[in-house]
């Protein structure tokens, strides 16, 4: 077994324009995902928007995300899977908004 | 120790076993040791040993079985010492009469699906396929894609690292994923076909070595997936291309247009085979895009002369293709067919909207097609401009010579 981190990226501008009903739909999607994939799930969270991000570099602490881009990291799941195909099969069920997407990264075994 | 020089018959036997058996030997060895690098090294070793051992003791009855045994023994030896992240080799537990399993997957199929996994980039997929499934050396793969050997070595190493770090399994995908995964494999073989059909750069128009590899792979896929319509279609398409490869250039290497080619020299056996596979592939609805491409190649193959070409049928097939596979390149080919069906003026009208396509911005055939229609219409100055533009985008020497010739000939105001 191996662990994979599923990173959820989205366009924060369009996310903030979401109606309450749209937001409820996204949450329902995540709940359904968690229910279906309970045994594979090792963790996961939604993040606040990058407005609340603080970055640290060698030259000090700054306001804002580490990397400025249109799509920002908005949440993650940590899953366990036998191989990449199995991990991708789980990841494909993670809801994401239009203009966003997912990145699947293996956790380096220690 | 003196190493005896193997005789020509032994060299030929080893070469034949390399060409026909490499994938089988490597795939079986990977299954045995679960490590792509170790397996590859051991298989190379086994072929090298075959040269000397077969020279001394004669060629074995089943050369491929001999190679598998030698490579696997060596792999077991090496693997005891190695401390590597093993490849995820699926256990074969299917009983002989397992009705859920429509076929017993060949190890070669696992190898192909690893090489063409969608988690790898397309160039990496193609490079790995040539390196691991066809058994080309890294230097040969680098030559095939016109990159430095060190660049190609890095590309292959990075891909292999990803296979092991991300745990891409050595497995045939489950039935629900099979169609899209087969398409990825077919796309890689098609890339070899198009690269071989017209080399992106270099002195020769056709890269026969790449065409041969594409044909080998398609035949292998046909053996492994005999019922797949996409495989049949791609095999047909490659055979159509292969049948014409010797007539596409003059003895001096000059490019010959389809209308100038000696059709009596097209390989009739290959064409017959291609037509059979095309008919088979077209029975599936909706037809695979490669089936439509094969049908298009078939229309050209069936015309006894250039003048007999059924352009109406071709336009209809391109229309169908555009519906299932909308792409600016298909639209360009359709426009050219329209130009031959209804005249160069109509062709130009069809080409016009394509000049705004970003995907065609550096595609030399758009400018070359416009140039040809303008030349036929006697619009010399515009034709010259279009030929010049096409020349700027073309790096294949045979195509450059053709365009340069047309440019030089366009001083006179008489269309030929």
Give the tens place of pLDDT for each residue, B345-375: 999 999 999 999 888 888 889 999 999 999 9
Question: Given the structure tokens 């050595």, which residue do they identify?
Answer: B170
- Cross-chain Cβ contact A83/B88 below 8 Å: yes
In angstroms, what CA-CA distances link B397 with B202, B362, B391, B403?
A: 6, 17, 10, 10
pLDDT tens sequence across A7-41: 999 998 888 888 889 889 989 999 999 999 999 99
Tell me what pLDDT residue B361 has: 85
Task: Number of A to B CB contacts under 8 A, please give it.
Answer: 28
Going by C-alpha positions, the residue among B238, B229, B156 that lies closest to residue B194 is B238
**What tokens appear for B15 in the block?**
């070469």
Question: Given the structure tokens 């924060």, which residue do they identify?
Answer: A12
Tell me what pLDDT residue B3 has: 58
Query: Taking an 8 Å Cβ-Cβ cutoff, which residues of chain B contact chain A?
Result: 85, 88, 117, 119, 165-169, 171, 173, 177
Going by C-alpha positions, the residue among B31, B23, B16, B111 that lies closest to residue B62 is B16
Q: How confident is the model at residue B91 (pLDDT cuts 50, 70, 90)?
A: low
User: B195 versus B84: which is more confidently predicted?
Assistant: B195
Average pLDDT over residues B176-199: 89
**What tokens appear for A32 in the block?**
């359904």
pLDDT tens sequence across A77-105: 999 999 999 999 999 999 998 889 999 99
pLDDT of B408 strictly over 90: no
Tell me what pLDDT residue B394 has: 87
Q: How confident is the model at residue B146 (pLDDT cuts 50, 70, 90)?
A: confident
pLDDT of B100 strictly over 50: no
User: CA–CA separation, B329 vs B354, rounded Å?
Assistant: 9
Listed in sequence order, the residues at least 6 apart from A90 whose beta carbon sits closer than 8 Å to its beta carbon are: A6, A37, A40, A79, A81
Tell me what pLDDT residue B157 has: 94
Residue A101's DSSP bridge partners are A9
pLDDT of B202 strictly over 50: yes
Residues on chain A touching B88 (C-beta within 8 angstroms): 82-83
In angstroms, what CA-CA distances link B205 with B104, B192, B249, B314?
A: 41, 14, 7, 24
- Cross-chain Cβ contact A84/B173 below 8 Å: no
Measured over the CA atoms of residue B143, residue B146, residue B148 and residue B151, the dihedral's sign is negative
User: B310 versus B6: which is more confidently predicted?
Assistant: B310
Tell me what pLDDT residue B269 has: 96
pLDDT of B232 strictly over 70: yes
Measured over the CA atoms of residue B380, residue B382, residue B385 and residue B391, the dihedral's sign is negative
CA B120 to chain centre: 18
Residues on chain B touching A88 (C-beta within 8 angstroms): 119
User: CA–CA separation, B76 vs B218, rounded Å?
Assistant: 32
Question: Kind and range of the H or E element at A15?
Answer: helix A12-16
Going by C-alpha positions, the residue among B189, B19, B169 that lies closest to residue B87 is B169
pLDDT of B253 strictly over 60: yes
Q: How confident is the model at residue B96 (pLDDT cuts 50, 70, 90)?
A: very low
pLDDT of B102 strictly over 50: no
- Cross-chain Cβ contact A106/B169 below 8 Å: no
Average pLDDT over residues A33-53: 93
Indicate the pTM of the whole model.
Answer: 0.82
User: CA–CA separation, B303 vs B259, rounded Å?
Assistant: 11
What angle in degrees, to the nearest 10, is found between the helix axes of B208-224 and B107-115?
Answer: 130
Residue of B34, B166, B171 for testing the chain A interface, max A β-carbons within 10 Å: B166
Residues on chain A touching B171 (C-beta within 8 angstroms): 83, 85
pLDDT, mean over chain B: 88
Tell me what pLDDT residue B94 has: 44
- Cross-chain Cβ contact A88/B88 below 8 Å: no
- Cross-chain Cβ contact B167/A83 below 8 Å: yes
With a pLDDT cut of 90, the percent of chain B lying above it is 62
């Amino acid at each position: 077994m191996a662990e994979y981190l599923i990173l959820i990226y989205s366009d924060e501008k369009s996310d903030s324009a979401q109606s309450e009903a749209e937001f409820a739909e996204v949450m329902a999607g995540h709940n359904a995902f968690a229910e279906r994939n309970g045994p594979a799930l090792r963790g996961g969270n939604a993040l606040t928007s990058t407005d609340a991000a603080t970055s640290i570099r060698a030259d000090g602490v700054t306001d804002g995300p580490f990397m400025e881009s249109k799509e920002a990291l908005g949440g993650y799941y940590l899953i366990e899977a036998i191989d990449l195909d199995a991990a991708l099969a789980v990841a494909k069920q993670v809801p994401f908004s239009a203009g966003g997407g997912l990145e699947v990264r293996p956790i380096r075994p220690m | 120790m003196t190493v005896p020089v193997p005789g020509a018959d032994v060299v030929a036997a080893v070469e034949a076993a390399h060409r026909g058996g490499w994938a089988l030997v490597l795939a079986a060895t990977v299954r045995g040791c679960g490590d792509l690098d170790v397996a590859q090294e051991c298989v190379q070793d086994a072929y090298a040993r075959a040269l000397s051992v077969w020279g001394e003791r004669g060629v074995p009855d089943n050369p491929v079985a001999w190679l598998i045994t030698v490579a696997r023994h060596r792999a077991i030896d090496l693997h005891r010492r190695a401390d590597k992240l093993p490849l995820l080799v699926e256990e074969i537990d299917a009983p002989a009469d397992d009705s859920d399993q429509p076929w017993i997957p060949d190890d070669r199929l696992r190898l192909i699906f690893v090489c063409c996994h969608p988690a790898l980039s397309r160039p990496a997929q193609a490079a790995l396929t040539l390196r691991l499934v066809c058994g080309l050396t890294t230097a040969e793969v680098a030559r095939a894609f016109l990159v430095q050997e060190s660049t190609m070595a890095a590309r292959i190493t990075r891909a292999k690292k990803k296979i092991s770090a991300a745990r891409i399994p050595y497995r045939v995908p489950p039935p629900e994923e099979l169609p899209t995964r087969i398409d990825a494999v077919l796309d890689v073989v098609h890339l070899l076909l198009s690269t071989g059909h017209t080399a992106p750069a270099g002195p020769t128009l056709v890269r026969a070595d790449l065409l041969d590899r594409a044909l080998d792979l398609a035949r292998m896929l046909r053996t492994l997936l005999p019922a797949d319509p996409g495989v049949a279609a791609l095999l047909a398409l490659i055979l159509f291309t292969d049948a014409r490869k010797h007539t596409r250039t003059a003895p001096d290497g000059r490019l010959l247009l389809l209308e100038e080619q000696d059709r009596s020299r097209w390989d009739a056996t290959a064409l017959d085979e291609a037509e059979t596979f095309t008919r088979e592939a077209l029975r599936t609805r909706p037809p695979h895009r490669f089936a439509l491409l094969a049908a298009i190649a078939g229309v050209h193959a069936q015309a006894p002369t250039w003048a007999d070409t059924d352009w109406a049928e071709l336009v209809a097939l391109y229309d169908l293709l555009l519906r299932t596979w909308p792409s600016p390149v298909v639209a360009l080919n359709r426009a050219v067919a329209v130009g031959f069906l209804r005249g160069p003026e109509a062709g130009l009208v069809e080409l016009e909207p394509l000049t705004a396509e970003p995907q065609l911005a550096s595609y030399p055939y758009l400018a070359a097609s416009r140039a040809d229609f303008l030349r036929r219409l006697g619009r010399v100055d515009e034709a010259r401009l279009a030929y010049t533009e096409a020349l700027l985008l073309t790096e294949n020497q045979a195509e450059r010579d053709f365009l340069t010739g047309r440019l030089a000939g366009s001083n006179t105001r008489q269309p030929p």
